[in-house]
Amino acid sequence: MRDCSCQLPSLFSNTPLLQKLIYLDISNLPGSVLPLLQSNALPALRILKVRGRELDDSALCLLISRFGLRLWSLDVSSNKISDDAVQSFRDWGFSGAPLRTNTHMQVEGNIVTPSMGTSDYGEFLAIQESDFSSSFCHPERYLVDAPAYTSSVSMVLQEYQAQRLDGSKAVRQDSADAAKNILLEEHGSRLGADDYLCSTGITHLRLSYNTISAHGVQKLVRISNGHIEDLACDSMPLLPKVGSYRKAWPPDSDLHGILGAAHLFRPVFSSNLRVLRIHHSLVTNIPSLRVVGLSSSGRQFLAETAILRRVEIAYPQTFIPDMNPRLLSLTLTCLPLRSSGPLISRLLQFLKLLATQERGIQDASFGPSTRHSPGVLQGLRHLRLEFERDSMEDTFIPEDVDPAELMNSGEKVFSFFEDERTESRSRSSSRRVLHSKRVAIDSRAAVDDWASGTARDSSEFIIYDADWNGDRFSIPVWAGPNNPDAPEVLKDYRRLVLGRHVRDGVGPVSPAQMLAGAPPESFIFHVAWSAAVMPPDLRPPTRSEVAGMRDVLDELRAYRLSGRANYLHHKKLAQMAGHHVSLGQPHYFWTGRLEVSTEATPPLVPSSQYWR
């Protein structure tokens, strides 16, 4: 029914013939979704796709509450959903059975909580690491989970005894063809119809092209109890659409991506995650910059130079394959086709790490085994890279900006830290300057905004008061280093917290923030920390710098061709010697499926190619 021009009839969900309906796609239809919201509507429905229906937060909450735990797959991409709706998934959509236990403490770490939280962050959760878990090097990290046992043959596991998936079974597919094939048993699928119809809550969730921020996505993962198996969120604003930081953030600028969240996609948080589709910054640490007055090539250059330098200090940890060997498929979205170098090197390094993981799994599978030995995980076998259109084709420059001045190597065009009084400077000046409100406060400006008193200026912690489930509590929150030699991004975090009172998103420090210098087991203002990655000013690249940007696809293709030739050479030598070729080192050719896609806009059908 998707893309149909007809509205759903008001009695649609009460039609007798539809009471056993399992799969429904009503994406991009006109009219209201109210016919779906009637009580006891479509009791057998398990897979629902509602893309492009202008669903807002209240409509989504009503939809999830109506279906409860009946749905295991929900696609609400291309709607108007914000961070405010995230909690509704926990309240009605996700199973309440906890999958996060200390059973795998030595391999993966363990989740601990001080039994506190806030409404915007959720319950405070942190990772207690073992000697191996923080370095992802435990010798058993590639083994599937042992089966769950009960004390009696006649006993079955209760809901509160729910076990996570062992990591070896096929992932449930939620496409129309998959549903038809499995229910009609046309292909003898490993997943029978009974398993396909069973639902304990949402496990497959598509949220792309909404207004949910990176902080909202992180909250979603934390409150999911580890039940998400397939998650898609193509692009997201780095910061929430509302918050106290907005008074200090330039109105015509934005960053998209997800930074410092790699730990949330480890099995200790994402117990069942097998398929992930997400912005490439999870791996590359390079956010997407959107700012009025610069071409896309200029924005990309700044994203992987001036902005990346600060991101690397604030979030010095990205996702690598061995963080979650249970992950089977990864799609990285919103990749630019041109790079000044950092993006290319990070993608090639990720491919090398995939080959290293592949070698580790090969070694684990060749180890001594018995009938009762655990199986071995597959590791990441599918990597899809989705690229945006060529930034060199985008040459748009606003009429009130001098093109020659935009490419002047020494002219500061965008300033986010200058005194706001300079914003009244005339655009007719011989050296036109585009001003925007500050992201943070420069140490030389707006001193009167700071709270008075030497204690406030010298302390590294401030007391934060909140309530959780009706109970008031107070915690010390790290306000940044009181050290003149600290990195600029950390000093800007402190200025945002103390000077601009940006105190949203309080929560435990993440592993990445501890690597950046935040005190272990402390609390931090996550929104201010994210906002601090924006540089105090942005100097547009010169024409020669833009012209020197390389084609990412050409670099990937050359790397794969060279690696394949090296791999085939070693394979031939191994066959001549009568044994299997070793994966990974020294050729570092990953034998998984690498898929590359280019598309102009999300609604268009992408052109894809496979580089095996």
Reported as a single tens digit per residue, the pLDDT across 236-287 is: 999 999 888 888 887 788 999 999 999 999 999 999 999 999 999 999 999 9
pLDDT of residue 585: 93
Closest CA to 312 of 323, 303, 324, 320: 303
User: Does residue 237 contact residue 256 with C-beta atoms inside 8 Å?
Assistant: yes
Q: Confirm whether 490 is domain-assigned.
A: yes
* Eight-state DSSP code of residue 499: I
pLDDT of residue 183: 82
Work out the angle at residue 301's Cα, subtended by the Cα atoms of residues 297 and 306, and round it to the nearest 5 degrees: 150
Q: Confirm whether 577 is domain-assigned.
A: no
Would you place residue 293 in the very low, low, confident or very high pLDDT band (cuts 50, 70, 90)?
A: confident
Q: Confirm whether 486 is domain-assigned.
A: yes
Q: Confirm whether 21 is domain-assigned.
A: no
pLDDT of residue 600: 57
Other beta carbons within 10 angstroms of residue 362's beta carbon come to: 18
Lookup result for tokens 């394949």: 564
Maximum mean pLDDT: which of 6-20, 450-464, 562-576: 562-576
- The residue that leads in pLDDT, 563 or 249, is 563
Q: How far is CA 601 from CA 27, 492, 581, in A?
A: 17, 35, 42
- Poorest-pLDDT segment among 166-175, 320-329, 404-413: 404-413
* % of the chain exceeding 90 in pLDDT: 66
What domain range is 515 assigned to?
A: 461-533
Residue positions counted in the chain:
612
What is the SS3 assignment for 243?
coil
- The residue that leads in pLDDT, 274 or 610, is 274
Pairing outcome for strands 47-49 and 23-25: parallel
Q: Confirm whether 273 is domain-assigned.
A: no
Other beta carbons within 10 angstroms of residue 266's beta carbon come to: 22
Query: Residue 78 corresponds to which tokens in the numbers above?
Result: 């291309």
Dihedral class, residue 150 (left if φ above 0, else alpha if ψ from -120 to 50, else beta) = beta
* Eight-state DSSP code of residue 144: P
- pLDDT surpassing 50 at residue 203: yes
- pLDDT surpassing 80 at residue 98: yes
Q: What is the mean pLDDT of the segment spanning 87-100?
A: 94
Q: What mean pLDDT value characterizes the chain?
A: 85
pLDDT of residue 32: 83
pLDDT of residue 607: 46
Query: Residue 481 corresponds to which tokens in the numbers above?
Result: 């280093």
- pLDDT surpassing 90 at residue 568: yes
Q: Confirm whether 186 is domain-assigned.
A: no
Q: Confirm whether 500 is domain-assigned.
A: yes
The whole-angstrom separation of Cα 22 and Cα 45 is 4
The whole-angstrom separation of Cα 24 and Cα 50 is 9
- pLDDT surpassing 70 at residue 200: yes
- Estimate the crossing angle of helix 552-577 against helix 342-365, to 10 degrees: 20
Q: Confirm whether 491 is domain-assigned.
A: yes
Q: Is 579 exposed, middle or buried (CB count within 10 Å of its CB: 0-12, 13-18, 19+)?
A: exposed
pLDDT of residue 314: 98
* pTM beyond cutoff 0.85: yes
The whole-angstrom separation of Cα 412 and Cα 539 is 5
Partner residues linked to 476 by β-bridges: 463
Would you place residue 429 in the very low, low, confident or very high pLDDT band (cuts 50, 70, 90)?
A: very low
Peptide bond into 606 cis (omega under 30): no
What is the per-residue burial (b if ≥16 Cβ within 10 Å, else e) of 147-179? eeeeeeeeeeeeeeebebbbbeeebbbbeeebb
The whole-angstrom separation of Cα 69 and Cα 201 is 4
Query: Residue 597 corresponds to which tokens in the numbers above?
Result: 């896609």
The whole-angstrom separation of Cα 378 and Cα 486 is 43
Q: What is the mean pLDDT of the segment spanning 200-206?
A: 97
Q: What is the mean pLDDT of the segment spanning 34-63?
A: 90
Q: How many domains would you assign to the chain?
A: 1
CA 425 remoteness from chain centre: 40
pLDDT of residue 537: 85
Dihedral class, residue 504 (left if φ above 0, else alpha if ψ from -120 to 50, else beta) = beta
Query: Residue 23 corresponds to which tokens in the numbers above?
Result: 């799969």
pLDDT of residue 40: 76
| Alpha helices (runs of H) in 336-432, residue ranges in sequence order | 342-365, 403-406
Other beta carbons within 10 angstroms of residue 537's beta carbon come to: 15
- pLDDT surpassing 60 at residue 143: yes
User: Does residue 235 contact residue 104 with C-beta atoms inside 8 Å?
Assistant: no
Other beta carbons within 10 angstroms of residue 232's beta carbon come to: 17
pLDDT of residue 169: 87
Closest CA to 552 of 351, 397, 355, 354: 351
The whole-angstrom separation of Cα 609 and Cα 612 is 10
- pLDDT surpassing 70 at residue 520: yes
pLDDT of residue 602: 52
Q: What is the mean pLDDT of the segment spanning 31-39?
A: 79
Instruction: Provide, for the chain, the percentages of residues in helix, strand and coil under a 3-state DSSP scheme, each rounded to the nearest 5.
Output: 35, 15, 50
